[in-house]
Amino acid sequence: MNETIIAAIISSGVVIISMIANMFVSIFAPRKAHKKQKLFDTQWEVLAKMYELISEADSAFELHMSPLNEMRNEEEQKKINEDAANTFNNMTSYYLRNKVFMPLEVASKLESLIKRMHDNIRKYDRAKNGKRNDKNYDKMYEIWGEQRDGKIKEIKNDIEKSFRKILEIK
Cβ–Cβ under 8 Å, residues 160 and 51: yes
Phi, psi of 132 (to 5 degrees): -80, 95
What is each CA distance from 25 to 33, 35, 128, in whole angstroms?
12, 15, 65
Question: Is 15 within the bounds of a domain?
Answer: no
Type of residue numbered 166: I
Question: Is 45 within the bounds of a domain?
Answer: yes
Question: Is 16 within the bounds of a domain?
Answer: no
Q: What is the dihedral of CA 110, 114, 115, 118, to 10 degrees?
A: 170
Question: Is 80 within the bounds of a domain?
Answer: yes
Question: Is 43 within the bounds of a domain?
Answer: yes
Question: Is 76 within the bounds of a domain?
Answer: yes
Per-residue tens of pLDDT for the chain, all 170 residues: 556 655 555 555 555 666 665 665 566 656 666 677 787 788 888 888 998 999 899 888 888 887 777 777 888 888 988 998 999 999 999 999 999 988 889 899 999 999 988 888 888 777 777 666 667 667 776 777 777 777 777 888 888 888 888 777 65
Question: Is 135 within the bounds of a domain?
Answer: yes
Nearest-CA neighbor of 169 among 47, 35, 38? 47
**Residue range of the domain that includes 47:** 37-166
pTM higher than 0.75: no
d(CA 96, CA 119): 18
Stated length of the chain: 170
Question: Is 20 within the bounds of a domain?
Answer: no
Q: How many domains does the chain have?
A: 1
